[in-house]
Amino acid sequence: MRAVVVGAGSWGTTVAGLLRDNGHDVSLAARDPEQAAAIEATGRNPRYARGVDLRGISATTIADAPLEDADVVVVAVPSRVFGDVVPALPGTAPILSLTKGLDPSTGARLSTLVRNRPVAVLSGPNIADEIGRGLPAAAVVAGEDLELAVRLQLLAHSSIFRVYVTDDVSGVELCAAAKNVIALAAGAADGLSLGDNAKAALVARGLAEMRRLAEASGGRPDTFAGLAGMGDLVVTCWSPSGRNRRAGELISQGASPEEAVAEIGMVVEGLTTAPVLRDLSRELGVEMPITEGVCAVLEGTSIADLVSRLMHRAPTTE
């Protein structure tokens, strides 16, 4: 297939390499002309996923990418610009979204912003650095059109990247957004040395929050026990490479959110998603105390006060 990957960050770069290795004709489209020129000249991304060999992949700007001729457009841009970038892409090829978040201006799931063309989403426990080094991983493609989802499954499936299929788009997208917020809290637990018991309890209750939210939006329970739910939550909360976990750790140790992002050097989706997720949960009448707590800390509440508040909540059933 002819695939255009829009977004030359670490995950877009890694997926471009995966698709090339699967025998597809791949173009990698960057927003920055200098970055695109460097990739084209050297076969390496000078900013992200530097270890991924990009030889055989055409690098262009988004404006110059062969979108009209694509069989599939893979989108790996930050959630904050997804709603501006995707509707402006020419052509009618299906969109495969790799972005994990919600639209900051509306709270909408990102796939709902795609108009007049088919769309599916890919999610799962996918640390880009590990996949770029050839380590095994798995993911799930979610699409309301299962025939399209199966086509996109075969696009990405390989001996190192096992891909499953589901039609639970709502569940997968909300899991992908919410797990980043829980990972901020898990990172704070690491930064405060609260111990493995506390972190495991936080992650388990975080999964309960994710489940309540997605079920209220039409998601299915089995999604939360799968790759997009438990799988992605675990790796995001424990991996040293997890941006959101690391941001939470830095913030718990005194850094501002802006300083944490600057040190990490990449987009931290949980910081954008947290207030959007909180507002959505309130609108749906879904209780999400960890998400509320993360937002409170980002707005200036002491983490020590937050921990005390969470631990002193009234006893209840699980």
CA 195 to CA 223: how far, in whole Å? 28
Query: Which two three-digit tokens encode residue 20?
Result: 């090339």
Instruction: Dig out the tokens for 63 from the structure.
Output: 């404006």
Which residue from 216, 212, 175, 185 is spatially nearest to 296, judged by alpha carbons?
185
d(CA 203, CA 290): 10
- DSSP-derived letter for residue 267 is -
Q: Are 27 and 4 in contact (CB under 8 A)?
A: yes
Cα separations in angstroms, 246 against 52, 165, 227: 23, 30, 21
Q: Which of 32, 10, 12, 9 is nearest to 20 (CA)?
A: 12
Name the catalytic one among 179, 243, 246, 278: 179
The helix (run of H) or strand (run of E) holding residue 72 is strand 72-75
- Residue 199 is among the residues annotated as catalytic for this protein: no
User: Which residues fall within 8 angstroms of residue 110, CB to CB, at 6 or more apart?
Assistant: 79, 82, 83, 97, 99, 101, 102, 103, 121, 173
Q: Are 197 and 153 in contact (CB under 8 A)?
A: no
Cα first-last separation, the chain: 47
How many DSSP H helices and E strands does the chain contain?
A: 14, 8
Q: Are 90 and 114 in contact (CB under 8 A)?
A: no
**3-class DSSP state of 61:** strand
Phi-psi region of 285 (alpha: psi -120 to 50; beta: other; left: phi over 0): left
Catalytic center residues: 179
